[in-house]
């Protein structure tokens, strides 16, 4: 078992390299999509809001599902990796076939014929990802996050360049589709050529059942989460004007990038780390608590400061035609504060091997979400947005309640530890928003830089005055570097 200093260094490097990976491999395509938003405008860009669900499935097939079983188990043979590789490939092909067949019905549902071919083509990325899902699982298991970053970077750059070129050649929303395929194709080729693993011609029914029993629950849970999370896109796209979906999707994608990046970073580093400590309850609880508090300490001011500078940020990135999305963005930021919190608590269930409970909870939570959607949808967009925030809070309680059964860190203790950070974060939002309003006559860059700096300084100052543990931990970490 690694000692505390070695664990700290390993975790630190994992977070740093995964952060760089998220900033580059996810940030470059996002920048291209922001550029496209200026070219296409809200009405046409609404089509992309519908395609988001299908790109999410590709991520699930690559980063979770059957391959998550490989990360969890310690004593694995070459046979295990090959077995999961072939299983994952078959499941992916089945999912693609289903999507291919239902694509015409989806296009008819939204009265958008172009969607049929858009969906069929962008979903080809699933097949590409299936060939390298095990490769990524092995690198994640070994916590080789620098290697993952280096393999992801060329695809992000070249795919982003392709997206920009196609956008200026008037390919419209197809620019995003071809960019997505190019990124996945290049990344898959690099992973395969890297030769750190290749499948052998062997398969075990016994090992398949073991990995399938765990992995299929995680995969189905992820698919349910993706389906219901994007149900807002479906409802808005069907019953509201297409530009409303575009405003919602731009607000959510900009809000989700930092929070989902933080969640993905924490998730990638914490899951294999928790798995290593699953046999030692005391160490596992300590690692979980430190990870949770540290991530919340970073995520809270980041999200709330972004909400405070929302108006000049949207004007700078997207232009005046997208200002209607600003209040959507601010409400969604409030609901996203606890995104990493959700992931951590669910990781506990996965590490403990309770993927069956993981799936059951997803079903319960999705039923709750459907009820919230049905109750809020008739009252307009703002009711739906606040409904999302409320349902997120309810879901968080459920996640903590059940994960608390497997560790000595229940709902009450988590709230007590995180509430002070939340209150200090809200104060930073007030400072940011106040200065932003006062500087409206200045340039957009001045508004953003000065307001966000004040918000961050007020957050750090208050944490220092109240001698918060998380703040001191980060100071100590910096000093050790």
Evaluate if residue 273 carries a pLDDT over 80.
no
Contact 184, 155 (CB under 8 A): yes
> Across the chain, what does the average pLDDT equal?
79
Shared domain for 344 and 469, answered yes or no, is yes
Kindly tell me the sign of the dihedral angle through the C-alpha atoms of 75, 79, 83, 84: positive
Contacts of 173 (CB under 8 A, 6+ apart): 36, 40, 44, 45, 47, 48, 51, 114, 118
| pLDDT given at position 283 | 62
Whether residue 229 lies inside any domain: the answer is: no
87: in domain? yes
Helices 469-480 and 444-465 cross at an angle (nearest 10°) of: 100
Kindly state whether residues 284 and 420 are assigned to the same domain: yes
Q: Which of 1-15, 100-114, 201-215 has the lowest mean pLDDT?
A: 1-15
Q: How many other C-beta atoms are found inside a 10 Å radius of the C-beta of residue 421?
A: 22
Q: How confident is the model at residue 62 (pLDDT cuts 50, 70, 90)?
A: low
Asked if residue 275 and residue 154 are part of one domain, the reply reads: no
Kind and range of the H or E element at 348?
Answer: helix 339-351
Dump pLDDT digits (tens) for 138-187.
887 777 778 888 888 899 899 989 988 888 888 888 888 999 899 999 99
pLDDT for residue 478: 44
In angstroms, rounded to a whole number, what is the distance separating the alpha carbons of residues 23 and 156? 10
225 belongs to a structural domain: no
Q: What share of the chain is helix, strand, coil (3-state, %, to 5)?
A: 85, 0, 15
Q: What is the pLDDT of residue 97?
A: 92
| pLDDT band, very low/low/confident/very high, at 269 (cuts 50, 70, 90) | low
Residue range 189-205: mean pLDDT, rounded: 83
At residue 64 the predicted structure's pLDDT band, cuts being 50, 70 and 90, is: low
Q: Could you give the CA distance from residue 267 to residue 279 in angstroms, rounded to a whole number?
A: 19
Whether residues 163 and 17 share a domain: the answer is yes
pLDDT of residue 472: 57
> Does residue 312 surpass a pLDDT of 90?
yes
Q: Which pLDDT score is estimated for 449?
A: 92
Question: Above 50 in pLDDT, residue 59?
Answer: yes
Q: pLDDT > 70: what percent of the chain?
A: 83
Q: What are 440-473's pLDDT values in tens digits? A: 888 999 999 999 999 989 988 888 787 666 555 5
Does 222 reside within a domain? no
Statement to judge: residues 208 and 247 lie in one domain: no
How many helices and strands, by DSSP H and E, does the chain display? 21, 0
Q: For residue 1, what pLDDT is reported?
A: 44
Q: What is the pLDDT of residues 354-409, one digit of tens each?
A: 767 777 777 787 788 788 888 888 888 889 889 888 888 888 888 888 877 777 77
Q: Comparing 214 with 175, which gets the higher pLDDT?
A: 175
- Give me the domain span that covers residue 360: 240-481
- Judged against a pLDDT cut of 60, whether residue 474 lies above it is answered with no
Query: Do 296 and 184 share a structural domain?
Result: no
Residues 190 and 245 in one domain: no
Residue 214 tokens read as 């765990």
Indicate if 248 and 209 belong to the same structural domain.
no
Provide the pLDDT confidence category of residue 15 given band limits of 50, 70 and 90.
low
Q: In this predicted structure, what is the pLDDT of residue 470?
A: 58
Q: For residues 474 and 481, what is the distance between their CA atoms, to the nearest angstrom?
A: 11
Is it the case that residue 475 has pLDDT exceeding 70?
Answer: no
CB 412 within 8 Å of CB 287: no
Could you count the other beta carbons within 10 Å of the beta carbon of residue 405? Answer: 12
Mean pLDDT of 253-269: 70
What is the number of structural domains in the chain?
2
In a domain, 230, yes or no: no
Q: Quick one: pLDDT at residue 8? A: 52
Amino acid 328: pLDDT: 92
Q: pLDDT: is 321 or 284 the higher one?
A: 321
| Shared-domain flag, residues 207 and 277 | no
Task: Out of 16-30, 117-131, 204-218, 249-263, give the one with best mean pLDDT.
Answer: 117-131
Is the overall model pTM greater than 0.75, yes or no?
Answer: no
Judge contact between 63 and 225, C-beta under 8 A.
no
Nearest to 65 by CA among 123, 134, 128: 134
Task: Report the run of H or E that residue 1 belongs to, with start and end.
Answer: none
Q: Which of 204, 56, 201, 181 is nearest to 128 (CA)?
A: 181
Could you tell me if 481 and 369 lie in one domain? yes
* Confidence (pLDDT) at 118: 93
Same domain? For 114 and 200 the reply is yes
pLDDT the model gives residue 285: 67
Is the pLDDT reported for residue 198 higher than 50? Answer: yes
CB-based contact 24:155 (threshold 8 Å): no
In terms of domains, do 360 and 398 share one? yes
pLDDT band at 279 (very low <50, low <70, confident <90, very high): low
Asked whether 185 and 176 are in contact (CB, 8 A), the reply is: no
């Amino acid at each position: 078992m690694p000692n505390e200093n070695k664990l700290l260094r390993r975790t630190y490097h994992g977070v740093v390299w995964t952060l760089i990976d998220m900033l580059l491999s996810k940030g470059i395509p996002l920048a291209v999509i922001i550029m496209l938003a200026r070219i296409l405008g809200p009405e046409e860009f609404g089509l992309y809001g519908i395609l988001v669900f299908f790109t999410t499935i590709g991520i699930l097939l690559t980063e979770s599902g059957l391959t998550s079983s490989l990360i969890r188990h310690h004593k694995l043979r070459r046979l295990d990796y090959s077995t999961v590789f072939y299983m994952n490939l078959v499941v992916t092909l089945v999912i693609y076939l289903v999507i291919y067949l239902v694509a015409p019905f989806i296009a008819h549902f939204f009265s958008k014929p172009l969607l049929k071919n858009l969906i069929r083509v962008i979903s080809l990325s699933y097949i590409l990802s299936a060939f390298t899902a095990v490769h990524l699982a092995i690198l994640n298991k070994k916590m080789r996050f620098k290697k993952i970053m280096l393999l992801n970077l060329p695809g992000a750059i070249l795919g982003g360049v392709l997206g920009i070129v196609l956008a200026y050649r008037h390919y419209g929303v197809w620019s995003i589709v071809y960019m997505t395929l190019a990124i996945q194709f290049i990344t898959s080729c690099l992973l395969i050529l890297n030769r750190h693993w290749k499948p052998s011609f062997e398969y075990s029914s016994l090992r398949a059942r073991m990995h399938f029993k765990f992995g299929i629950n995680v995969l189905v849970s992820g698919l349910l989460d993706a389906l219901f999370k994007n149900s807002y896109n479906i409802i808005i796209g069907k019953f509201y004007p297409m530009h409303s979906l575009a405003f919602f999707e731009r607000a959510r994608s900009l809000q989700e990038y930092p929070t989902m990046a933080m969640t993905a970073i924490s998730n990638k580093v914490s899951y294999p780390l928790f798995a290593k400590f699953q046999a030692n309850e005391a160490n596992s609880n300590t690692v979980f608590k430190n990870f949770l508090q540290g991530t919340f300490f970073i995520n809270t001011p980041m999200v709330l400061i972004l909400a405070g500078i929302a108006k000049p940020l949207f004007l700078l990135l997207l232009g005046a035609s997208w200002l209607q999305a600003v209040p959507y963005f601010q409400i969604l930021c409030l609901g996203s504060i606890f995104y990493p919190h959700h992931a951590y608590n669910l990781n506990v269930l996965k590490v403990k091997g309770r993927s069956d409970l993981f799936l059951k909870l997803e079903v319960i939570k999705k039923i709750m979400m459907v009820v919230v959607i049905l109750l809020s949808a008739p009252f307009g967009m703002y009711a739906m947005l606040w409904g999302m925030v409320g349902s997120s809070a309810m879901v968080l309680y459920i996640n903590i309640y059940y994960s608390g059964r497997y560790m000595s860190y229940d709902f009450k203790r988590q709230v007590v530890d995180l509430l002070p950070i939340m209150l200090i974060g809200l104060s930073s939002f007030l400072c940011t928003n106040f200065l932003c309003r006062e500087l409206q006559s200045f340039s957009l860059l001045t508004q953003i830089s000065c307001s966000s700096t004040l918000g961050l300084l007020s957050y750090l100052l208050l944490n220092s005055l109240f001698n918060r543990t998380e703040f001191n931990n980060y100071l100590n970490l910096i000093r050790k570097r």
